[in-house]
Structure 1
Amino acid sequence: MKDDQMLLDSLLQEEEDLQFSQFTHNTAVLIGMKIVEKALKDNSPMVISIQKNGQQLFYSKLDGATMDNDLWIKRKNKVVEHFNHSSYYMNVLFKTTQTTIESYFLDRKDFGVEPGAFPIIVKDVGIIGTITVSGVPGEGEDHKIITAVLKEMLQ
Structure 2
Amino acid sequence: MMNTEKSELEVLLEKHMEEENRYQFERFSPEDAKALGEMLYEESKSCKRTVGVEIRMNGESVYRFMPGSCNHENGKWLAAKANTVEMMGMSSLHVRALLAKEGATLEDKKMNVVEHGTLGGGFPLFLKGTGMIGTICVSGLWHEDDHALILRVLDRFIADKAC
Shorter-chain TM-score above 0.5: yes
**Structure 1 counterpart of 2:120, from 115, 120, 124:** 115
Q: Counterpart in 1 of 2:3?
A: none
**Structure 1 counterpart of 2:139, from 126, 129, 134:** 134
**2:71 corresponds to 1:66:** yes
Q: Counterpart in 1 of 2:93?
A: 88
CA distance in 1, matches of 2:44, 2:86: 25
**Structure 2, gaps ≥5 residues long:** 1-5
**Structure 1, gaps ≥5 residues long:** none
Q: Give the superposition deviation at 1:63.
A: 4.0
**2:152 corresponds to 1:148:** yes
* Maintained 8 Å contact 2:33/2:63: yes
1:150 is paired with a residue whose SS is helix
2:50 is paired with a residue whose SS is coil
Letter of the structure 1 residue corresponding to residue 51 of structure 2: M
CA distance in 2, matches of 1:104, 1:56: 25
Q: Give the superposition deviation at 1:87.
A: 0.5
- Taking the TM superposition and a 5 Å limit, the aligned residue runs for 1:91-106 are 91-106=96-111
Identity of aligned residues (%): 27
2:46 is paired with a residue whose SS is helix
CA distance in 2, matches of 1:25, 1:105: 31
Q: Counterpart in 1 of 2:17?
A: 12
TM (norm. structure 2) is: 0.89
Point out 4+ residue stretches in structure 1 off by more than 2 angstroms: none
1:115 is paired with a residue whose SS is coil
Q: What is the aligned-residue RMSD (CA, Å)?
A: 1.4
TM (norm. structure 1) is: 0.93
